[in-house]
Amino acid sequence: MGSDALIPCTFTVDKPPVDPKYFAVFWYFKGNVTLSYDDVVETQDPRFSLNTINSLNGDASLSISSVMMSDKGAYTCSILYSPERKEKEVTLYVQAAPVIKITGSPIDISKESVLTCNITRFYPENIDVKWFKDGVIIDRVSVSKPQRNPDGTYSVTSTVTTTPTEEDGNHTFSCRVQHESLPQPLQENFQLEHPDKKDTFLPIILGIAAAVIVLIVCVGAYLAYRFCKGKEHRRKVQNNGEELVPLTGVSPPHVEDIEIPDQIQCNQEVTLRCNISRYPKNLTVTWLKYDPETKQTAPVDQRKGYKTPTLQRDEQQDHTYISTARLVFTPSYESDDGAVFTCRVEHPSLKGAIERRTKPLHVTGLTRPPAVPVQPPRGRTSNFETLYATANLDLEDIQNNLSDSFPGRHVGRGAGTSDGRGAGTSDGRGAGTSNGGVVEKDLMGMSGGPGITVTNQPKMRTVENSKKENMLRTSKTSQQQKIKKDTERVT
């Protein structure tokens, strides 16, 4: 069973070869046509086939692949060579060799033990089973009635019972099967071993060893857990005395926004503060400055007056720290107006640095109105120079310097009228505008010449005398340098 089979059917004709026009083959099984050949092969089962070339030469044998129990029986081969027909019946016998497997229950001294011999997948049904002990046949055996399997084969079970003693040595039991499908008996052996006395303690020894191993593993795991827990930082958040959240592990630092004064005055010391909390030790803080003119960011230069006091740490109950990083400096309009400062915090628990930045600083203390160049008066050909002035000039110093430079001449404060013309006091006649317009003066004090009017609005003046220019440059030298820088930015 399960192999291929060939059912023979041969014939001869008077004048070979066979003429296909008059030739046909039919195979019958249990009264039905299972295969036919009349120019083409037709079959009801794909396992059945016929060699057409051999058939035209006198061999119309039927091939069956993977033979099953249902294939056994009588087949009829019918050859039609018109007008004659010949038939022959052939019987197919199917056999299946048995498979043996012995199993035994645990063997205990002085207790009955059962050995089982399972014989499966055999056909036909008749089978003979015998047991042997060390080559001697055992009479007291049992054999069950054969059971038919779904594929048409049979199975049977045979058992033998034995009671081993301490005096018995090792024994060999054999299950021997005789079946018509076998050319000789099939035998399976089973070695019966009696356990030694010392072997009875083996399960106990193994159990104790397993318990010791489990205990060692548990203790090691507990010690490792305690060791790791000891290295972790714990923190418990409290609310009205109740524990809310327990925290463990290394906590990254919390960095707040930089605190800056509401107003930053020129030449007045200021302090920027960066508050850092919830961190262990090993904290690094760096202050950086962004220069809007160079558009570069670099660490602050202590040689230029930037001071970073030592970081003071306050330890908390959860073993973390709180500190405030400070940057102290005296701002100037030239170097700090529009600058951006950065507090960079680095810590081993962080993959990268934490940074907090200020907005561009606005340094106050200087009034910087837009500067407008003064053009020479129409009709004058003198060598005029353009001078820029802002409201932070010391007006009294200018008046005094002008009075000292030109005795008998007074600088009058003109009163602007609604149409923008004012009259100067004393010798000079002033022309002024109520909206801070251009003012001109003939510094030589000529009769009929226009005077100079100084108002609280930003003014622009023209000079044609190098003596006045030198006088103005000596007045408030440091302020003029700032004014020059401011006008360069505006223009």
| 248 part of a folded domain | no
Confidence of residue 100 (pLDDT cuts 50, 70, 90): very high
Supply the pTM of this predicted model.
0.37
Range of the domain at 167: 99-195
Residues 85, 134 share a domain = no
Show the tokens assigned to 274. Answer: 């960066």
Name the one residue in this structure whose structure tokens are 């002990």: 133
Residues 103, 74 share a domain = no
Residues 135, 181 share a domain = yes
As a whole number, mean pLDDT of residues 78-93 equals: 92
What is the model's pLDDT at position 237?
38
Tens digit of each residue's pLDDT (9 = 90 or more) over 412-457: 444 444 343 444 443 434 444 334 433 333 333 333 344 434 444 4
The answer to whether residues 286 and 346 touch, using CB atoms and an 8 Å cutoff, is yes
**More confident site: 392 or 268:** 268
As a whole number, mean pLDDT of residues 87-94 equals: 93
Looking at the chain, the number of H-run helices and the number of E-run strands are 6, 35
Write the secondary structure of 332-386 as one string of H (helix), E (strand) and C (coil): CHHHHCCCEEEEEEECCCCCCCEEEECCCCCEECCCCCCCCCCCCCCCCCCCCEE
pLDDT at 115 over 60: yes
Residues 106, 191 share a domain = yes
Confidence of residue 395 (pLDDT cuts 50, 70, 90): very low
Confidence of residue 219 (pLDDT cuts 50, 70, 90): confident
Confidence of residue 472 (pLDDT cuts 50, 70, 90): low
How many CB atoms within 10 Å of residue 361?
Answer: 19
CATH number, domain with residue 137: 2.60.40.10
Task: Show which of 195, 217, 245 is a domain's final residue.
Answer: 195
pLDDT at 44 over 60: yes
The answer to whether residues 455 and 389 touch, using CB atoms and an 8 Å cutoff, is no
What is the model's pLDDT at position 16?
80
Task: Show which of 143, 168, 195 is a domain's final residue.
Answer: 195
Tens digit of each residue's pLDDT (9 = 90 or more) over 173-200: 899 999 999 999 999 998 776 555 445 5
Residues 466, 407 share a domain = yes
What is the model's pLDDT at position 293?
87
Give the total number of structural domains in the chain. 4
pLDDT at 242 over 60: no
Residues 354, 405 share a domain = no
pLDDT at 279 over 90: no
| 232 part of a folded domain | no
